[in-house]
Amino acid sequence: MERDSLIKAMKGLQRRQREVLVLRYFADMTEAQVAETLGISLGSVKAYGSRGIAALRLAMGTPA
């Protein structure tokens, strides 16, 4: 059930947030590798990742 909630919450993210989180945590890439793969800056990877995690926590009712 938790897996289904995570998938639903991931679908609610912005496309770039979802891409960053999938590459970072499911593909086990470093932030630098994610930046290179997506063609964005390291700062953008950090920002998308942070905002994506915050949105997932909110969607899943997990405290910060």
pTM for this prediction: 0.88
What is the model's pLDDT at position 64?
Answer: 63
**Ramachandran area for residue 30 (φ above 0: left; ψ -120 to 50: alpha; else beta):** beta
Question: Which class is 2-60 in CATH?
Answer: mainly alpha
Report the candidate in 18, 4, 6 with the shortest Cα–Cα distance to residue 57: 6
* Domain spans in the chain, listed from the N-terminal domain onward: 2-60
Residues 23-57 have pLDDT tens digits of 999 999 999 999 999 999 999 999 999 999 999 99
